[in-house]
Amino acid sequence: METSVRNKQVILRDYVKGIPKESDLMVVTSSDPVDLKVKPGSEEPLIDAFVPGNPISGIGVSKVIDSDDPAFTKGDLVWGMVNWEEYSTINPTGMIDLTAYAGFYEICSPKKGETVFVSAASGAVGQLVGQFAKLMGCYVVGSAGSKQKVDLLLNKLGFDDAFNYKEEPDLDSALKRCFPKGIDIYFENYHLETRDRLQNLPDIIFKRIKLQGFASYDLMDRFPKFLEFVLPYIKEKKLTYVEDIVEGLENGPAALVGLLYGQNVGKQVLKVAQE
């Protein structure tokens, strides 16, 4: 089914060098036809490269306005990789963020009483990893990039300790202060300030350290188990999830750039329309 609508979009002006700026993005209104059919699965990459002149994309929640598929009816809410635009196609093979749950429980295999360090701890993944660790009875310390974020970790998310890495002249000293007996689990969220600091590589052998990278795409089959685990904690208000919501597609470029510079507190969300 094809229909013509006025469709506001956030598009990429040109290929970006370095960290994107607001001027690298542009909000436009298009009247090109929008194919509202759900695309079939394919062998394409998990995430396509952004192409100049086309909308950028990300994980989103959308409302079905029309469907020829009996599995989807008008008014249904669906999630997946969607374009930053008012009307978009939804691919049923999209990804939801299982990184915190699967990464901590499946990859880290935590035990009660262990010490856990979480970088970028106030972000979408870090805030959940820290709370999962506390539910396990672990001692949890997080690092973040502002006083506001550190306060969030300590006073709302229940971390045992936290520090602002920007105010620490020596990261090693900060870690020794927080973990005098060492760290059992380090959940690294690919933080720009720490990703190149991996040293003492022989210790990986001598101390039997497990180092593993992963993507939540690897663990999509854990999604039902994730829901079964997390929903009761949410209903009992034993888990807190902080979102930094920006309203209006026209504010999308500023929200994206702010995210890249660490200005968001919690998961960055762009709200395109009211329910």
CATH number at residue 48: 3.90.180.10
Q: At 272, which amino acid appears?
A: V
Has residue 42 got a pLDDT over 50? Answer: no
In a shared domain, residues 59 and 106: no
Q: Are 267 and 35 in contact (CB under 8 A)?
A: no
In a shared domain, residues 62 and 108: no
pLDDT of residue 220: 80
In a shared domain, residues 178 and 204: yes
- Choice between 72 and 48, residue whose per-residue pLDDT is larger: 72
In a shared domain, residues 155 and 265: no
pLDDT of residue 110: 97
The 10 Å CB-count burial string (b at 16+, else e) for 187-223 is: bbbebeebeeeeeeeeeeeeeeeeeeeeebeebeebe
Distance CA 121, CA 105 (A): 17
In a shared domain, residues 214 and 254: no
Distance CA 150, CA 157 (A): 10
pLDDT of residue 93: 33
List the domain range (segments joined by +) for residue 266: 2-95+243-271
- Choice between 216 and 115, residue whose per-residue pLDDT is larger: 115
User: Cβ–Cβ contacts within 10 Å for residue 30, how many?
Assistant: 17
Task: Compute CA 111 distance to the chain's CA centroid, rounded to the nearest angstrom.
Answer: 25
Has residue 20 got a pLDDT over 50? Answer: yes
pLDDT of residue 117: 98
Q: Could you tell me the pLDDT band of residue 234, with boundaries at 50, 70 and 90?
A: confident
In a shared domain, residues 88 and 40: yes
Q: Are 258 and 268 in contact (CB under 8 A)?
A: yes
In a shared domain, residues 91 and 208: no
In a shared domain, residues 34 and 56: yes
Has residue 70 got a pLDDT over 50? Answer: yes
pLDDT of residue 5: 65
In a shared domain, residues 56 and 176: no
Distance CA 232, CA 88 (A): 32
Strand partners, 83: 57
Q: Could you tell me the pLDDT band of residue 163, with boundaries at 50, 70 and 90?
A: very high
Q: Are 35 and 71 in contact (CB under 8 A)?
A: no
Highest mean pLDDT: which range of 71-80, 100-109, 200-209? 100-109
Q: At 126, which amino acid appears?
A: G
pLDDT tens sequence across 31-41: 665 544 444 44
Q: Is 255 left (phi over 0), alpha (psi -120 to 50) or beta?
A: alpha
Average pLDDT value for the chain: 81
Q: Which two tokens stand for residue 74?
A: 């008008």
In a shared domain, residues 90 and 103: no
CATH number for 213: 3.40.50.720
- Choice between 68 and 62, residue whose per-residue pLDDT is larger: 62
Residue 89 burial by Cβ neighbours in a 10 Å radius (0-12, 13-18, 19+): middle
In a shared domain, residues 89 and 116: no
Number of structural domains (the chain) is: 2
User: Cβ–Cβ contacts within 10 Å for residue 148, how many?
Assistant: 11
State the residue for tokens 């035990």.
Answer: 111
pLDDT of residue 32: 61
